[in-house]
Amino acid sequence: MFDLLGVSPQVLFGQLLLGLINGSFYALLSLGLAVIFGMLNVINFAHGALYMVGAFVAWLLLNYLGLGYWWALFLAPTVVGLVGMALEKTMLSRLYKLDHLYGLLLTFGLALILEGAFRHQYGVSGQPYPIPDLLKGGQNLGFMFLPNYRGWVVAASLIVCFGTWFAIERTRLGAYLRAATENPVLVQAFGINVPVMVSLTYAFGVALAGLAGVLAAPIYQVSPLMGSNLIIIVFAVVVIGGMGSILGAIVTGLGLGLMEGLTKVVYPEASNIVVFVVMAIVLLIKPAGLFGRER
């Protein structure tokens, strides 16, 4: 098989690993988008910017307060979640009765503000973030070398993704959430505080983006522009997977990451656009997306 592709197994598995890591980020981000969309009917354009903020919070914690990676892993999503909650309470909540496009436009504006502000402050060049001591080094798996940190990123995001899936599909809180997605008025009539639940959902969704930012910081550099290009790919992922299913978002994210990695091996020039090509094909064959249902 390797001879067929004309590449060494090291290169192939190396790129597949990179693809898997990208896919983990796609999965985490599209999961957050799907959770938010399910509850608020808002496509959160600021998701990429908040991912960037998550990475920057980690970097700032390290450089100004001396708090390391493990603190950041907990604190950065919290900070991003709180920012998200503030944004939801003050701005987004005013738009629920209007067309969904206004939510997209508002969050687009917010993304520009966040990105512009960080860019103004820190410039466009990336800031390095060290890998935590515990996860330095790597494992030789025989057919390839696996850096510990990259293995950790894939594992951590898989755990978070499936944890989220479990919480939404299999717990009582998740049942409330799903019920409120279907019929918020009725759920409120049963004595559940739906507005608070909506705020918390948004906060949780963007906290996932913040977490992805912290996980990404040691791999990619911390830069104000790290979110903007990613979010467009994640949008394509969401269109391909359809937003009806949580599991669909996770599977599509990972799958497309792998596909991107494979394209880098076979035909590197197309690796930037392969996700968009897949999106176009899926739309032609199954317009509602692979796991989607038309809303």
Partner 1 sequence: MTAASQATAATATATATATLRGPDAGTARTALLFVVGLTIAALAPFALYPVFVMKVLCFALFACAFNLLIGFAGLLSFGHAAFFGGAAYVTAHAVKVWGLPPELGLLLGTAAAALLGVLFGAIAIRRQGIYFAMITLALSQMVFFMALQLKFTGGEDGIQGVPRGVLFGVFDLTQPLTMYYAVLAVFVFGFALIWRAVHSPFGQVLKAIRENEPRAISLGYRTERYKLLAFVLSASLAGLAGGTKALVFQLASLTDVQWQMSGEVVLMTLLGGMGTLVGPVVGAGLVVTLESYLAATSLPVPVVIGAIFVVCVLLFRRGIVGEILARLPGRKA
Give the residues lining the site for partner 1 (CB under 8 A).
43, 91, 94-95, 98-102, 104-106, 108-117, 119-120, 228-229, 232-233, 235-236, 238-239, 269, 272-273, 275-277, 279-280, 283-284, 287
Supply angle C-alpha 276, 281, 282, rounded to 5.
Answer: 95
User: Least distance from C-beta 147 to partner 1, angstroms?
Assistant: 28
* Cβ-based nearer residue to partner 1, 43 or 58: 43
* Cβ-based nearer residue to partner 1, 72 or 236: 236
What are the φ/ψ torsions at residue 191 (nearest 5 degrees)? Answer: 90, 20
* Cβ-based nearer residue to partner 1, 79 or 231: 231
User: Least distance from C-beta 73 to partner 1, angstroms?
Assistant: 29
17 within 8 A of 179, measured Cβ to Cβ: no
User: Least distance from C-beta 232 to partner 1, angstroms?
Assistant: 5
User: Least distance from C-beta 8 to partner 1, angstroms?
Assistant: 25
10: Cα separation from own chain's centroid: 28
* Cβ-based nearer residue to partner 1, 90 or 140: 90
Phi-psi region of 137 (alpha: psi -120 to 50; beta: other; left: phi over 0): left
Per-state percent for the chain, helix, strand, coil, to nearest 5: 75, 5, 20
* Cβ-based nearer residue to partner 1, 95 or 222: 95
User: Least distance from C-beta 114 to partner 1, angstroms?
Assistant: 8
C-alpha span between 286 and 280 (Å, rounded) = 10
C-alpha span between 104 and 244 (Å, rounded) = 18
